[in-house]
Amino acid sequence: MDLARWTREVRPIAIALGLVLVVRTVVAEPYQVPSPSMVPTLLTGDELIGSKFAYGFSKYSLPIGTLPDFEGRLLDRAPQRGDVIVFRLPRDPATTYVKRLIGLPGDRIQMQKGRLYINGTLVPRREVGPYEGGTLYVETLPTVDGGGREHELIESSDDDRYDETSVYEVPARHYFMMGDNRDNSLDSRIAAADGGVGFVPLENLVARADRLLMSSDPSVGWFDVSHWGHAFRLDRFFARIN
């Protein structure tokens, strides 16, 4: 094959790949949920779409590695308390996590007897009922406008390992993340030095999780044809993430 013909055939493929890369860097990118730490909001096997432009762009915005090292964000927009956020793990930026934003810069966060306190104020929650060995609650996080922002969470008990903590003071340009499955989440309650998440720097935010694309039970294999009817959670397809 001569070079001119090879170039003509390869060019459309290169353009298509380039467009995909631009879209996944600037607009949106899919992420697979690998663990139950965000149940009931996100289930293991959910595939979500993250809005890359929601908070602007950092050195971690490129889906195939990192952009040239720089501090801060381009077109920076502040995240809101209660957002479900995809971010790079501070102690291992090659690893991607998804958690809920609980603490903003300057906040004081504490757990007492399984209850969340923000800046010394108890965060309201109401019990909904039992949920797979735990209890389902609706928690109302404080918002700037005073209206509050509701989301569901699960507690196995109010006396678990991280249900009683000291006060975490969130540094400037950092955020405090927690999982909605409160007793089964490796999050900002555990310091990075102890194998946890710790405070998440502004630069590590990648995307806001806005909507599910699809959801499937990871315990059902592709060759387990007889169980395909139960594998796909059709009611979660294209569902909005609260």
* Catalytic residue ranges: 37, 99
Q: How many Å apart are CA 59 and CA 38, to the nearest integer?
A: 26
Could you give the CA distance from residue 58 to residue 216 in angstroms, rounded to a whole number? 31
Integer CA distances (angstroms), 55 to 118, 156, 197, in order? 23, 33, 20
Q: Which pair of structure tokens corresponds to residue 66?
A: 């990192």
Nearest in space to 103 (alpha carbons), one of 205, 1, 171: 171
